[in-house]
Amino acid sequence: MTHHAAGTPASAPLAAEAVRDAVEAGHARLRALLPGLTDAAVRGPSALPDWSRAHVLAHIEGIGRAMARQARYALRGELIEPYDGGFPARTAAIEEGARRDAAALRTAVGDALAEASAAWAAVGPDDWSRPVRYRDGTLRDALLAWWRELVIHTSDADLGHGTDQWPPELCHHLLSHLAPRAPEGVRLVLEPADEAAALRYGPADAPVVTVRGPLTALAAWLAGRAPHTPLGCLRAGVAGPLPELRPWP
């Protein structure tokens, strides 16, 4: 299968410094939501199945710190795993962290955002290609991962910043990064209602499935989140259900 998204000039990669600015804006958005967090709210359900808001916030804290240390170690010329103890330790830390009350979670997330800001601010213009252990990528890859995690999970926490408020730049990045999720055996065409250009994924000679809706709703769907407004889907010109997506890359 061809994992490719084409058809819009907005799909051009953002400069790392622009991504860092977008991350700082994401930090500010999340910080602004934290003061209203109550004990009842953190025990309530998030937008993710089987996770409370406390689970999502504990995960944001953990991934923020994990990506920050990727940056710190890369600047020393060293490689380190994102989490000591790997995925099992990550899962255990989320479960343990989710037991905290609202005040402790506000402090922990705020401290993690401050740590992330400091770590990424220290990266210079010639450092973005430095290798990191995270997916055997570069510092720029790790920053993009933190941007995705930050914005998507801020919405998952269901604290008042939904997918309909995702920045256009992030939406375009997601539509490119998540191209491998396009269904197998079809030519998936995404038509953002608020933009002129469509995006196309998969073999040109495969049956066409067209999905239409706002850019934010298309990005949310491709990211595995419920679109904030219904999407239209046409298969061979006939309206039908949305196709099943492949796993995250």
pLDDT for res 196: 79
Tell whether the torsion through CA atoms of 221, 224, 229 and 232 is positive or negative: positive
Read off the pLDDT of residues 85-138 as tens digits, 9 standing for 90 and up. 999 999 999 999 999 999 999 999 999 999 999 999 999 999 999 999 999 999
| Residue 176 to residue 40: CA distance in whole angstroms | 38
For residue 177, give Cα distances in angstroms to 38, 50, 58, 118, 148.
Answer: 35, 26, 25, 26, 10
- Distance between CA 141 and CA 74 in Å, rounded? 12
| Confidence band, pLDDT 50/70/90 cuts, at residue 79 | very high
Write the pLDDT tens digit of every residue in 42-76. 999 999 999 999 999 999 999 999 999 999 999 99
Q: pLDDT tens for residues 201-210?
A: 999 999 999 9
Mean pLDDT of the chain: 94
